[in-house]
Amino acid sequence: MQYTREIVGIGPRPIGSRGHARLEAYLRLHLKQTAANIVEDAFTAQTPAGSFAMRNFIAQYPGTKDGVIVIASHYDTVLPIKNFVGANDGGSSTGLLLELGNQLHGQGKLPDYSVWLVFLDGEEAVKEWTDTDSVYGSRHLAEKWKSDGTTGKIKAFLLADMIGDADLDILRDENSTPWLEDLVLQAAGNLGVQSHFFANTTAIGDDHVPFAKAGVPVADLIDFTYGYNNVFWHTPEDTLDKLSPRSLEITGNVLLETKRLLDQK
């Protein structure tokens, strides 16, 4: 939660902004303290508002088994909304991934699959959400990894998005891989927090979709009921007071338990 507070304290963080550049520096500083290797995947995206420089961060934590589990989040905030600090949408999952880096670093060399924490840029639409105006970072990285064969090494792609909501209600996503969603629910049950998972089902467009199209098993952990009728989503009301450290703890523990179950497969 402290990471999320610090990220939100930067202010709005849309692509091309001073806040976005400050967050990149913040991520770089923290990841250098935990990751064995950091890959910065810089590229230029063509958008309806022109060209934007973007950057994905891949923090690598090596394991002993051949294969990779990816845990991902986007770190940008939506562009057109004034005073949007994205405490939940962008901030919460970015803060969570930084803490997961601490947890993984504390284990030393992982006894099973490697874990890559992936901080994706350009998830938000620049003008209006379409297949071509959204998820710029994940579309770029999925295409790159498919071309160089990396996707064949990925055992699972676990995405966290909007997971800080104090009233945590993670949806079952119809665009995710069914067996991997089942494994997430098993992990939640193992930890006694299944009441926060999969009460409702819907299809979510998010950073996991390009990887699903590339043949990677994917699961999107997203709470897309942020306030009554999702009233806080993409508004200046997406602020820290709507979040709970417990929601971050639940989601982080379920992600680590899902990793443990994947290691056994």
Per-residue pLDDT of 69-118, as tens digits, reads 999 999 999 987 989 999 999 999 999 999 999 999 988 789 899 999 99
pLDDT for the residue numbered 246: 98
pLDDT digits (tens, 9 = 90+) for 169-215: 999 999 999 999 999 999 999 999 999 999 999 999 999 999 999 99
Q: Across residues 226-241, what is the average pLDDT?
A: 96
| 194 strand-pairing partners | none
Distance CA 19, CA 80 (A): 14
Share of the chain above pLDDT 90, in %: 96
* Spatial CB neighbours of 202, under 8 Å, sequence gap ≥ 6: 171, 172, 173, 174, 224
Structure confidence at residue 15 (pLDDT): 97
The domain in which residue 197 lies consists of: 2-264
Confidence of residue 259 (pLDDT cuts 50, 70, 90): very high
- The domain spanning residue 24 has which CATH number? 3.40.630.10
Place of tokens 């523990």: 253
For residues 98 and 95, what is the distance between their CA atoms, to the nearest angstrom? 5
Number of domain units in the chain: 1
